[in-house]
Amino acid sequence: MIGNRLKLIRNANGLSLSELSELLSSSALPITRAALSHYELGITVPSEHALEILGKKMGTTVSFFYRPDWEEFSIIFFREPPMPARQMNDMNAYIQVELEKILYVEDLLNTSHEISLPSKKKILRGQEDLVEELADWVRQDYGIAEGPISSVCGFLEQKGWKLIELPEGFDLNGIAGIECSRQVMFVLYPTLYVLDDFRFFMLREIAHLYLEGEDTGHTEELVCRFARAVLFPRRLVEWEFGTKKREVSIIELTYMKQKYGFSKRGIMTRLCELGIISKEFYDSFEDLMRLHGFPKRKKIMSETLQFYENPTSYAMQVLRAESLGLITKDQMEEMLLLKHI
């Protein structure tokens, strides 16, 4: 058991046996690669002191090594992650460690969600308007009131999605999937992001649960349109802009960005795909954005948008468990501080 847990947390940290041994070389207890391998294979059992050192180096505590193995753990991603096999293995381990912590608290509080997986809809070329209907259905199913979405994280968490921050080593804007044994849906999101892009990326990833196109390229077009349609439904676009418009001013885009938490480029794409502005006007806007260096903007966590986009469900449940006496204050602080390994 301890060996399996050690391998799990090592992989979750993206470390090889040699890299972990090197990391431990300056610690109070240097451990060779061979010794680590023997621990993981169960040939030898590490001492409590060794487990304490290992835990500190890899962002966990001794209790982690004594938890039962999650033998049925299995992940299906809603789209294929573009990464090599070793990195995929590390990411799966990271997801398992994060989900274990989230589900542990949910089990204490008995707040787990029943998940009902929808049937994925196949949309053919020429049927792109079906995305609008699907986006409207999702807004209704998720209980989103008419108007702007104040927090994408908020409504996803209410529906049972687990939101997990990705370490910087994974070059992904986000990806979603399901853990099969407990039917837990999750979305991975990047550490650094531009807020309006973040809201869009989250919805784009969950769209892979609901729809697919004729091929990979077509599917990507559809999931992007789905994300735009959830953030800014057709009826609201037409209410704000009308059904036809010759041009759109920067001040209009600024107002709409603040109101709907959506990028100016995304709003213009939305107007074009709904036929409200012409393709020629959209292309001129794209030229203007390139001229002003839009593709070069840096990823930042602070933005002028006023939307509060941070996952809160796990932290709130940990605090609730402490207030009910289900965990100690020390455990609460440990679980919050060590959320990200």
Kindly report the CATH number assigned to the domain that includes residue 31: 1.10.260.40
Q: What is the pLDDT of residue 320?
A: 80
pLDDT means over runs of 10, the chain (341 residues): 94 94 87 94 93 91 93 94 88 96 93 82 96 96 88 91 88 90 93 84 95 96 98 95 89 88 92 95 82 54 58 81 87 73 40
Q: What is the pLDDT of residue 337?
A: 72
Contact criterion met (CB below 8 Å) for 335 and 179: no
What SS3 class is residue 55?
Answer: helix
Query: Do 36 and 102 belong together in one domain?
Result: no
Query: Do 108 and 229 belong together in one domain?
Result: yes
Q: Residue 318: which domain range? A: 71-234+304-341
Q: What is the pLDDT of residue 240?
A: 93
Q: What is the pLDDT of residue 302?
A: 45
Q: Would you call 126 exposed, middle or buried from its count of C-beta atoms within 10 A (0-12, 13-18, 19+)?
A: exposed
Strands (E), 113-261: 121-122, 162-165, 175-179, 184-189, 211-212
Query: Which amino acid is residue 162, in one-letter code?
Result: K
Q: Answer yes or no: is 265 within a domain.
A: no
Q: How many domains does the chain have?
A: 2
Q: Answer yes or no: is 174 within a domain.
A: yes
Contact criterion met (CB below 8 Å) for 331 and 108: no
Q: Answer yes or no: is 284 within a domain.
A: no
Q: Answer yes or no: is 120 within a domain.
A: yes
Q: Answer yes or no: is 214 within a domain.
A: yes
Query: Do 42 and 109 belong together in one domain?
Result: no
Q: What is the pLDDT of residue 54?
A: 93
